Structure 1
Amino acid sequence: MSVLKVIEILGNSTVSFEDAVQNVINEVSKTVNDVKSVYIKDMQVSVKNNKISEYRVNAKVTFGILSA
């Protein structure tokens, strides 16, 4: 049996949504082991001068905390 935990993380990037998700994974991996999946709950952009200036994601990260 394994036990999983889910945390909600906000990530951003000036490049793309994919880069924002990778930034979430990079930051979470600094303190969390055994990341299993990332679910994107919400996506949005910031706009300046009629152009996208920042990509943002609200992500749920699932990771293992116990396995037997």
Structure 2
Amino acid sequence: EKSWEDAAQNAVTEASKSVKNIRSVYVHEQSGTVNHGKIEQYRVNVKITFEVK
């Protein structure tokens, strides 16, 4: 990921592989790993809501 937005999209993409009817994503927390003064990884803790049919 190159941003927190990318990290959130990746979470939704991965969840979509096993969960259908995703309706929204709530970014609960953002963090990242830093190496030599630059952000190396963007991380998000998300809640994903979906409809059960």
| Range into which the TM-score falls when normalised by the shorter chain | over 0.9
Highest CA radius of gyration, 1 or 2? 1
1:45, distance to aligned residue in structure 2 (A): 1.2
Q: Greater strand percent: which structure?
A: 1
Match of 2:24 in 1: 37
Unpaired runs of 5+ in structure 1? 1-12
Q: Relative contact order (alpha carbons < 8 A, sep ≥ 6): 1 or 2 greater?
A: 1
Aligned residues: 53
Deviation beyond 4 Å, 4+ runs, structure 1: none
Structure 2: which amino acid aligns with 1:17?
W
TM-score (norm 1): 0.74
Deviations 1:19-39 (A, max 9, x none): 101101110101111001000
More helix by share: 2
The C-alpha deviation readout for 1:8-66, integer Å capped at 9, x for no partner, is: xxxxx2x1111101101110101111001000000011100011101000000000113
